[in-house]
Structure 1
Amino acid sequence: MSYYLHAAKFFLHNTTENGGYLEVASDGKFGEYLGEGQRPAGKIIDYTGKWIAPGLVDTHIHGLLNYDLMDNDWNEIQEMSIGLLKAGVTSWLPTTLTASFDQLNAVCKTIGEHYKEARGAKIQGIYFEGPYFTEKHKGAQNPKYFKDPDIREFRDWQGSAHGLLKKIAIAPERQGAADFTKAVVQTGTVVALGHSDATFEQAKRCVEAGATVFTHTFNGMSGLNHRALGMVGAALSMNLVDDELICDGHHVDPFAVRSLIENKTPEHIILITDCMRAGMMPCGDYVLGEFPVYVQNGMARMKAGNSLAGSILELKNAVKNVVDWNIATPEEAVLMASYVPARSSNIADVCGSILPNRDADFLVLNDDMSLSETYLNGESRYQAQAAD
């Protein structure tokens, strides 16, 4: 049965409306929005004092609930998809780590064959973080698998994934990076740049070849100097590129977050988590890929070297953080975690916005930006009050 939502605020695709009614049709799709003075006939669910936002889209996430995509276990991936609803995420791109060709191919086959069976957050594609990186800014990636980009490998992986490989990150200084970028973007897959010590000129060459995303900006890349701009300088200054950003308060100082958002504008910032298997888990020892890590004080760190090893961030908290840090308005924060990530991964036609005839995947937020409830296809799937 169709119904209407009544709430204090609606974050629609192009406008943010105060009050009113949003239709959810019987087929689980969004219908029309009516202003406050246009009370409709029929069932109304009253969320007075609360805000309605599109479901969040996490386009860079490796693991959750002590599971990791590289375990290549569909049951675990299923549990991750369900757990993500607690983080306000209704669509996601399971993200790989650098690994062997065969390991990555096996992951592609598993997701390609099963992604439609996800019972929680919808799998809208796969993000390959690697293996075409360089060692200086390797982070938690395993350098033994690093190599130059190979379009034949990409095509094989894409075939195994049934076309679900939506984004791949590479280091611009690798041999053939620009030519690889040109070939990949012509297939409709996004090329991101990261884990790289590239010069500004090398990064620029890949951007001009079609790369459109910088991977977790500031982290895992050559820094900004006033005479050697590096990867950070390219992420700051290149037109029409989108910059991923981890806003957990550990990966990037909030004042650096502010400078990037002000420079690029929220329309080009992608809030991500880069969450690893310890997300939603207690402090302790874990594994990321083939490396032992420990989680303490809200951070995941490598046991060898103590560098950051992904995050344990939930996307709902990244949204709340940028508002609490007085860096973004609620409207901008929602945009950076829903529409922008979807558009940047070429999946904005299926998620990231409240639009008529789009799947009714949405959040009910409290006015402090905390999550109250998550809906999927018009059905309430997570209620914070009942679970907390």
Structure 2
Amino acid sequence: MTYYIHADKFFLENRTENGGYLEVQDNGKFGFFYPESKKPEGKIVDYAGKWVAPGLVDTHIHGSLREDVMKSDWEGINKISKGLLSAGVTSWMPTTITAASDTLTRICKMFADHQGQEEGAKIQGIHFEGPFFTEEHAGAENPKYMMDPDINEFNKWLDASNGMLKKISMAPERKGSKEFIREAVKEGIVVVLGHSSASFEEAVAGVEAGATMFTHTFNGMPDPSHHTPSISNAAMTLNNVTDELICDGHHVQPCMAKTLINAVGPEHIALITDCMEAGMMPDGDYMLGELPVYVKDGMARLKDGDNLAGSILQLKQAVKNVVDWNIVTPEKAVMMASYVPAKSAHILDNCGTIAPDKDADFLILNPDLTLSETYLNGESRYKA
């Protein structure tokens, strides 16, 4: 049955409306938006005092609820998918870490075999974080599996995924990187630069070859420098790229988040979580792939070396943080967690905005940006 959402504010595809009515069709798609002065005939679902936003899109997430993409277990993946609705996420890209080639092939095949079977947040493709990284900035990735880019190896994974592999993070200074980037981009793959010791010039060469993003900017790369600029300086200054950013207050301090957002503009920032299996779980011991991790005081760290090991951030909190830190408006914060990640990952046709004929995946927010309710295909699936 078609119905109309009435609320105080709507974050639509190209504008924000104060008051009005949003049509949700009986096929689970968005219809038209009607201004407050043109109340439509039909069922009205009233959310007076609330705001309506597109469902959030997390394009870099490893797990939560003690489940991990690397476990290659479909029941665990589906558990993550359903749990993400409570984080305001309605679309996501399960993200691997650096691992043995056969392990990555098995994970790709698992997703291909269960394509479209998730019961919660929609899987819009797979993101490979590695294995073409540099050991110096391995972070919480296992350096023993790192190697130079190999398009033939990559195509094996792509075939195993039945086309679900859509994004790969890599270091642009590794041998053969530019050739790999050109070939991957020809195949429609989004190439992201990170876990890298690249100089500014090497990063620029990667972008010129076709890379369009930077992986969790400032993490897994040299610090910005005014003497010897590096990949992080490239992320801050290049045009026509998108920077992933973890806004938990630990990976990047608020002042540096503000510096980056002001430098490139909110339209070039994709908020991500980089969340691992400890997301939505208490402090304690966990795993990130093969590496033991401990979680304490809101941070996940490797037991060996104490590096940050992903996050336990929820994307709804990242949105709230960048507003609470007085960096951007609520409209821009929502955009950075929906439209920008979807556009940057080439999945905007499927998610990321409220627009006619797109899936009616949306959020009901309180004015303080806390989550009240999550809708998927026009059905309420989570209430806070």
TM interval, short-chain normalised: over 0.9
Which residue does 1:371 correspond to in 2? 371
Give 1:113 shift: 1.5
TM-score normalised to the size of structure 1?
Answer: 0.98
Distance in 1, matches of 2:222 and 2:198, equals: 6
1:310 aligns with 2:310: yes
Give 1:251 shift: 0.4
Give 1:135 shift: 1.0
Give 1:253 shift: 0.7
Give 1:68 shift: 0.2
Which residue does 1:67 correspond to in 2? 67
Which residue does 2:50 correspond to in 1? 50
Distance in 2, matches of 1:302 and 1:57, equals: 27
Distance in 2, matches of 1:229 and 1:76, equals: 42
Give 1:225 shift: 1.2
1:87 aligns with 2:113: no
Which residue does 1:247 correspond to in 2? 247
Which residue does 1:264 correspond to in 2? 264
Give 1:227 shift: 2.4
Distance in 2, matches of 1:278 and 1:132, equals: 26
Distance in 1, matches of 2:165 and 2:337, equals: 20
Amino acid at match of 2:29: K
Distance in 1, matches of 2:327 and 2:242, equals: 18
Q: Structure 1: any 5+ residue segments left out of the alignment?
A: none
Which residue does 1:328 correspond to in 2? 328
Give 1:223 shift: 1.9
Give 1:65 shift: 0.2
Which residue does 2:39 correspond to in 1? 39
Which residue does 1:351 correspond to in 2? 351
Q: Structure 2: any 5+ residue segments left out of the alignment?
A: none
Distance in 1, matches of 2:238 and 2:180, equals: 20
- Per-residue Cα deviation, 1:337-384 (whole angstroms, up to 9, x for no partner): 001000000000110000000000000000000000000000000000
Distance in 2, matches of 1:367 and 1:350, equals: 27
Give 1:136 shift: 1.1
Give 1:289 shift: 1.1
Amino acid at match of 1:177: S
Amino acid at match of 2:200: F
Distance in 1, matches of 2:222 and 2:239, equals: 19
Distance in 1, matches of 2:143 and 2:83, equals: 31
Distance in 2, matches of 1:93 and 1:155, equals: 19
Which residue does 1:206 correspond to in 2? 206
Which residue does 1:338 correspond to in 2? 338
Which residue does 1:228 correspond to in 2? 228
Which residue does 2:191 correspond to in 1? 191
Give 1:115 shift: 2.5
Amino acid at match of 1:22: L
Please state whether the residue corresponding to 1:28 is helix, strand or coil: coil
Which residue does 2:278 correspond to in 1? 278
Distance in 2, matches of 1:71 and 1:201, equals: 37
Which residue does 2:290 correspond to in 1? 290
Distance in 2, matches of 1:69 and 1:237, equals: 33
Amino acid at match of 1:184: A
Amino acid at match of 1:227: H
Distance in 2, matches of 1:112 and 1:266, equals: 34
Amino acid at match of 1:179: E
Which residue does 1:8 correspond to in 2? 8
Distance in 2, matches of 1:289 and 1:161, equals: 19
- Per-residue Cα deviation, 1:206-233 (whole angstroms, up to 9, x for no partner): 1000000100000001221112110110
- Per-residue Cα deviation, 1:64-114 (whole angstroms, up to 9, x for no partner): 100000000000000000000000000000000100110000000011121
Please state whether the residue corresponding to 1:51 is helix, strand or coil: strand
Give 1:306 shift: 1.1
Give 1:34 shift: 0.3
Amino acid at match of 1:381: R
